[in-house]
Amino acid sequence: MNRSSETNRQTEAGLGLAPDEQFVSLLARHHSLIRGFIGTLLPHQTDAEDVFQQTCLVLWRKWNTFDSEQSFSAWACGIAFYEVKNFQRVQSRDRLYFSDEVLSLVAECQTNSLTETDRQKQALDDCIQKLDGENRQFIRDCYHDQLTIKEVAAQSGRSADATYKKLARLRLRLMDCMQQTLHSAEAGS
C-alpha cells in the first residue's frame, strides 16, 4: 500500500478520533452516497428519507461491528439494503414496490458501482498527491475552496484564459494518471 493510500485509509478509519467522532465523520462524508443508494431502491422520496433515518440509527447501533479495513460506504449500503427490504415488507400491503429479486439486482448494480467509484476516488486522490505542491494547491483552489475561475486567476496573477488552460492540462494529467493507476490495479488483481 503506498503512502497516500495508507493516509487515506487512516483518514477513512478516523484514526485519532474517538469512536463516536469517527462514526459522525464517516457518516457525514458518505451520507449523500448512502441516501442516493436508498433513493435508487425506493421510488418515493419520503420513504427513502424515512429509511435513511432508520439506516442511520442501525448504523450507530452496529458501529462497534464495523471493520475499519473495509469500506464504510459498502458496509453502510449493505445495512441500508436490508433496511429497504424491511421497510418494503412492512409497507407491502399499502403500496407497490420492487420484488425482492429486482431489489437485489438493483442493489447489486449499485454496490458494484460504489466499489468502482471508491476505486476511482482512491486513484484520483493518489494522483493528486503525486502533483507538486503548487499544482495541488491550484486544484484545491479550483475545486475545494468554492472559488470561481476568475477569483483563482486573480489570486495567481494569471488571466482567466490561462487559468482555464492550466486546469485543462492538469485534468488531462490526472486522467492519464488515474487510467494508469486503475489499469495497473486491474493487471495486479
Say if residues 152 and 142 touch (Cβ distance below 8 Å). yes
Whole-number pLDDT of residue 48: 92
Whole-number pLDDT of residue 80: 94
Per-residue burial over 18-41, b if 16 or more Cβ lie within 10 Å, else e, is eeeebbebbbeebeebbbebbbeb
What contacts 97, CB < 8 A, 6 or more positions away?
42, 43, 88, 91, 103
DSSP 86: H
- With H, G, I as helix, E, B as strand and everything else as coil, classify residue 99: coil
Q: How far apart are CA 157 and CA 3, in angstroms?
A: 33
Q: How far apart are CA 26 and CA 13, in angstroms?
A: 8
Whole-number pLDDT of residue 189: 61
Helical spans, DSSP H, in the chain: 3-13, 19-41, 45-61, 72-91, 100-130, 133-143, 149-156, 160-188
Whole-number pLDDT of residue 162: 92
Whole-number pLDDT of residue 24: 92
Per residue in 35-48, pLDDT (tens digit) is 989 998 888 889 99
Whole-number pLDDT of residue 95: 58
Per residue in 47-76, pLDDT (tens digit) is 999 999 999 999 999 999 998 888 898 899
Nearest CA to 52 out of 30, 25, 19, 72 is that of 30
What domains can be seen in the chain, in order of their start residue? 1-130 (1.10.1740.10), 131-189 (1.10.10)
Q: What are the mean pLDDT values of the chain's consecutive 10-residue runs (189 residues total)?
A: 38 61 91 90 89 95 90 91 89 66 80 78 90 90 83 89 92 92 79
Say if residues 129 and 5 touch (Cβ distance below 8 Å). no
Whole-number pLDDT of residue 5: 38
